[in-house]
Amino acid sequence: MKRTIAGMAFSLACLMNLSEAQTINHDKVEMENGKNTGMCVKLPMQPDGIVRLSKIEVHAEYLEEYVKYAIEVGEISLRTEPGVLTMYAVAEKDNACRITILETYASQKAYKSHIASAHFQKYKQETLHMVKALVLSDQTPLNPSNSITNIIK
Amino acid sequence: MKRTIAGMAFSLACLMNLSEAQTINHDKVEMENGKNTGMCVKLPMQPDGIVRLSKIEVHAEYLEEYVKYAIEVGEISLRTEPGVLTMYAVAEKDNACRITILETYASQKAYKSHIASAHFQKYKQETLHMVKALVLSDQTPLNPSNSITNIIK
């Protein structure tokens, strides 16, 4: 029952992030090895998709709090947004204030939908004063045959 | 028949990279959505595993040649090494000479096996003069529930 309600909530959240032009069935959730991952079915990467390394430096006194917000926005985005294909965040072992996020969006439209979402706006506003530096560095994959799938367990 | 020979070659390559303590059946290859990816079955991530961002700056005059070597070593490593979990390379859109590779190894042993391999040694020796700068930056994933799978199609 709990899973069914969670599934309905994801489906609803997915539908809220869908434009009228996107016709994938979001009643479905991603499967991995036959198991429900609790994530929306993802849109395919489009020619105007984005592969990005976001490099963030956090003021040390806010690090713990910042990480909570970053984990929250990453989880909600991956679970509910069909066009958010990866959001994989890592922190340097030698300086945990230096965070890099591999962000992949299926299209410009998917990216615009993401930054307009309530969960992203909450993260952005609540963490503004915690961020010392931010570089958004768009990237081109070296090998088109090499692909990454990002799952939240 | 071609697929069978390729499968045998992958299995053999996998076995050559296996230590006696690693008992996973490498006659199998990874499956995604029921399709053979042409990759070894991967080892699970261990507590001493490595998540790394390798940041490479290439001398512009060698960029095209360097990229060929980088793609080759990435493909062979992903296809044949059970302990190479990701090797996902991207280049900055604004400066293609700046390359970042997300490298994930299942254990220290898997990493040592990788850097001792003939394909890595070939890449390393042949590209030494092409590399202007190299930073190996070990990382900690922010969210243990968030995982990445890397596939070569």
pLDDT digits (tens, 9 = 90+) for A128-141: 999 999 999 999 99
pLDDT digits (tens, 9 = 90+) for A84-128: 999 999 999 999 999 999 999 999 999 999 999 999 999 999 999
Model pLDDT, residue B153: 84
Of B53, B143, B147, the CB nearest to A71: B143
- What is the average pLDDT across B118-126? 98
Chain A CB contacts of B146 under 8 Å are: 71, 74-75, 78, 87-89, 150-153
- In chain B, whose CA is at the least distance from the CA of A86? B148
**Is B139 in the A-facing interface, judged by CB distances under 8 Å?**
yes
Query: Which single residue is written with the structure tokens 């198991």?
Result: A35
Q: How would you write A27-92 as a 3-class SS string?
A: CCEEEECCEEEEEECCCCCCCCCEEEEEEEEECHHHHHHHHHHHHHHHHHHHHHCCCEEEEEEEEE
Chain B CB contacts of A127 under 8 Å are: none
Model pLDDT, residue A139: 98
| Position B139 pLDDT exceeds 60 | yes
- What is the average pLDDT across A64-78? 98
Angle of helix A2-16 relative to helix A63-80, nearest 10 degrees, comes to: 90
The full set of domain ranges for chain B reads 42-139
Topology given in CATH for the domain delimited by A2-138: Alpha-Beta Plaits (3.30.70)
pLDDT digits (tens, 9 = 90+) for A26-42: 446 666 555 666 899 99
Write b or e for each residue in A102-136: b if 16 or more Cβ atoms lie within 10 A of its Cβ, otherwise e: bbbbbbebbbebbeebebbeebeeebeebeeeeee
Model pLDDT, residue B36: 64
CA B62 to chain centre: 22
Of 3.40.50.300, 3.30.70.100, 3.40.980.10, 2.40.33.20, the CATH number of B42-139 is 3.30.70.100
Chain A CB contacts of B139 under 8 Å are: 90-93, 100
Does the beta-carbon distance from B53 to A100 stay under 8 Å? yes
**Is B65 in the A-facing interface, judged by CB distances under 8 Å?**
no
